[in-house]
């Protein structure tokens, strides 16, 4: 319960940049270069590249700023966001937010454990439920900039959770995801990632 309260309190005040809102129409053209990896409408067909369609705007803006400014290391995106203004990034985020995300399928053998981890956490290890911050339907928390997870590629989710666990990804405020991922086993990570891939909001 303490982790849930901390998660909500941090989420409400963690954004450290001004966000004036983006223009989805303007963002479509600016996002053209992104389509090579993330798909023209944000539904990436390559499981190592995240789906961006339907993603929360504040989350996307924060991630793009972090990548552009070096706070999040994504080698495949090196230099791609250089020269983009805050408004450019807001427009791109608005464009992807306006798209409809696609839903994949969970592996049947992983659904039971994945559902348990997502909805209830792992009490014996004090792992908070994913649903606490990312919502029961995987829609995330737009105001807190917690990402939508519904339909995200399992391979991408696994890679990010393992990156948080090893702290090779460390751009989560107050180490929320690093603390959660550190306590999860590979089996739990793979199961919840599979469940998320098939989760529909």
pLDDT in tens, 72-85: 999 999 999 999 99
- Residues of the chain above pLDDT 70, percent: 90
Which of 66, 97, 128 is at the close of a domain?
97
Check pLDDT > 60 for residue 36.
yes
Residues spanned by the domain of 187: 103-197
Look at residue 63 in the predicted model and tell me its pLDDT: 98
pLDDT for position 178: 98
Where are the strands (E) in 135-198, listed by range?
none
- Rounded Cα–Cα distance for residues 138 and 168 (Å): 24
pLDDT at 112 (0 to 100): 98
CA distance 188 to 143: 28
Of 142, 173, 134, the closest CA to residue 60 belongs to 142
**Same domain assignment for residues 91 and 107:** no
Residues 139 and 92 in one domain: no
Which class for 182: exposed (0-12), middle (13-18), buried (19 or more C-beta within 10 A)? middle
129 within 8 A of 191, measured Cβ to Cβ: no
pLDDT digits 0-9 by tens, 146-198: 999 999 999 999 999 999 999 999 999 899 999 999 999 999 999 999 999 99
Tell me: pLDDT of 11 over 50.
no
Tokens of 29: 């053209």
What is the per-residue pLDDT for 89?
98
> What percent of the chain shows pLDDT beyond 90?
88
Return the structure tokens found at 53.
Answer: 């369609």
What pTM does this model have?
0.90
> Whose CA is closest to 127, among 193, 189, 187, 179?
179
pLDDT-based confidence at residue 10 (cuts at 50, 70, 90): very low
Residue 119 sits in the same domain as residue 182:
yes
Residue 36 in tokens: 């090579």
Specify the CATH number for the domain of residue 176: 1.10.760.10
Whether residue 113 is found in the same domain as residue 91: no
Answer yes or no: are the C-beta atoms of 199 and 147 closer than 8 Å: no
When pLDDT is averaged across residues 83-106 and rounded to a whole number, the result is 97
3-state SS, residue 141? strand
Per-residue pLDDT, averaged over 40-68, amounts to: 98
Asked whether residue 77 falls in the same domain as residue 155, the answer is: no
């Amino acid at each position: 319960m303490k982790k849930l309260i901390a998660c909500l309190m941090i989420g409400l005040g963690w954004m450290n940049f001004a966000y004036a809102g983006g223009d989805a129409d303007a963002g479509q053209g600016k996002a053209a270069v992104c389509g090579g990896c993330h798909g023209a409408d944000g539904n990436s067909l390559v499981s190592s590249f995240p789906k961006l369609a339907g993603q929360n705007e504040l989350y996307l803006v924060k991630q793009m700023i972090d990548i552009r400014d070096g706070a999040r290391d994504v080698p495949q995106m090196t230099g791609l966001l250089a020269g983009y203004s805050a408004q450019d990034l807001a427009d791109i985020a608005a464009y992807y937010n306006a798209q409809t995300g696609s839903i994949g399928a969970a592996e049947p053998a992983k659904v039971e454990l994945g559902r348990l981890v997502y909805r209830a956490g792992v009490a014996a290890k004090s792992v908070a439920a994913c649903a606490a911050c990312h919502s029961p339907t995987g829609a995330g928390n737009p105001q807190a900039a917690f990402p939508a997870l519904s339909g995200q590629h399992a391979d991408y989710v696994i890679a990010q959770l393992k990156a948080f666990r090893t702290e090779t990804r460390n751009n989560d405020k107050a180490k929320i995801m690093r603390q959660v991922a550190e306590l999860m086993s590979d089996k739990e990570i793979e199961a919840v990632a599979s469940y998320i891939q098939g989760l529909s909001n």
